[in-house]
């Protein structure tokens, strides 16, 4: 692989990250364990072969390479069933779902690189869970302002959440204001459901995203 775009990122120690994982009390532990187990089962299989991410035509979301084989079974959508565990879907829950996604460039997680931050996540619930729409709004902070991988990171977060959250959630992902030189362009792509759907049918792109999500707990 070529030289990383950001060779010297600032790294946050894992123990300093906000999480509910270590703070769980004995009473709720079994429930948490159950959830983690389920969430774990949603994670993608480890990478089969490594790909050079430089070959991807980002930020166009989808490369022009034709996909000949159907999407692999492991990518079938698995959604957290409507259950009591849903009460846990707050900002911290969203953070825990996405914080352990790997950066496509560094052997570090998005939380360690402060690309995702708890205070930049906002969850809004509807009154009636069966009929009302809920929203997750996430602002991501690219490590450097010209980071060409911002779209890929955003796509990884979206794929992770679309697979884990119930369908009533509308996921909106934006680049934090002033942290990227082509904010609007990246924002538009990340929130275009059709482009995202098409990107998720691209096997090469999916392989990269699988690698990013393989570290998810």
Partner 1 sequence: MVSLIKSIKAHSDKAWSVSAHKTVPLLATASTDKTSKIYKLSVKQNFPQVAQLEDTHKRSVRAVSFKPPLPGVESNFLDLPALASGSFDSTISIWGIDEPETEILSSPRNEWNLMAIIEGHENEIKAVGWNHNGSLLASCSRDKTVWIWETDPETLEEFECISVLNDHQHDIKHVVWHPHQNLLASSSYDDTIRLYKQDLDDDDWSCVGVLNGHEGTVWCSQFEDNHRHQESNESSNRSKIRLVSVSDDMTARIWSKYIPSSIKHKSEMVWEQESILPPVHQYPIYSVAWSAQSGKIATVGSDGKIVIYIEGDDNSWSIDSVKESAHGVHEINSIIWALLDDQSEVLVTAGDDGCVNIWKP
Q: How far is the CB of 133 from partner 1 (least distance, A)?
A: 6
Binding track, positions 186-205, relative to partner 1; x by CB under 8 A: --x---xxxx-xx--x----
Q: Does 62 bind partner 1 (CB under 8 A)?
A: yes
Q: Do the beta carbons of residue 112 and residue 17 sit within 8 Å?
A: yes
E-strand stretches of the chain: 121-124, 134-140, 169-175
End-to-end CA distance of the chain: 27
Binding track, positions 76-95, relative to partner 1; x by CB under 8 A: -x------------------
Q: How far is the CB of 73 from partner 1 (least distance, A)?
A: 13
Give the DSSP H/E element, type plus range, for residue 45.
Answer: none
Q: Does 75 bind partner 1 (CB under 8 A)?
A: no
E-strand stretches of 116-166: 121-124, 134-140
Cα separation, 197 vs 62, whole angstroms: 10
Binding track, positions 127-166, relative to partner 1; x by CB under 8 A: ---xxxx--------------------------------x
Torsion angles phi and psi, residue 144, rounded to 5 = -140, 155
Binding-site member from 20, 32, 125, 168 for partner 1 (CB under 8 A): 168
The residues with which 123 forms a beta bridge, in sequence order, are: 136
The arrangement of strands across the sheet holding 121-124 comes to 121-124, 134-140, 169-175
Q: Does 122 bind partner 1 (CB under 8 A)?
A: no
The residue ranges that bind partner 1 (CB under 8 A) are 62, 64, 66-68, 70, 77, 130-133, 166-168, 170, 188, 192-195, 197-198, 201
């Amino acid at each position: 692989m070529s030289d990383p775009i950001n060779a010297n990122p600032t790294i946050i120690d894992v123990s300093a990250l906000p999480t509910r994982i270590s703070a769980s009390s004995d009473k709720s532990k079994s429930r948490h364990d159950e959830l983690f187990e389920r969430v774990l089962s949603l994670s993608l299989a480890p990478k089969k072969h490594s790909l050079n991410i430089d070959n991807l035509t980002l930020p166009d979301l989808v490369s022009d390479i034709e996909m000949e084989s159907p999407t692999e079974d492991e990518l079938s959508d698995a959604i957290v069933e409507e259950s009591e565990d849903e009460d846990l879907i707050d900002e911290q829950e969203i953070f825990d779902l996405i914080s352990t996604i790997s950066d496509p460039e560094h052997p570090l997680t998005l939380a360690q690189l402060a690309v995702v931050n708890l205070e930049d996540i906002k969850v809004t619930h509807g009154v009636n869970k069966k009929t009302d729409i809920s929203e997750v709004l996430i602002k991501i902070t690219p490590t450097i302002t010209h980071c060409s991988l911002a779209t890929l990171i955003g796509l990884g977060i979206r794929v992770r959440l679309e697979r884990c959250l119930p369908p009533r959630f509308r996921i909106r992902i934006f680049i934090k204001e002033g942290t990227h030189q082509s904010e609007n362009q990246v924002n538009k792509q990340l929130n275009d459901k059709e482009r995202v759907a098409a990107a998720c049918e691209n096997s090469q792109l999916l392989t990269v995203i699988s690698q990013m999500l393989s570290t998810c707990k």
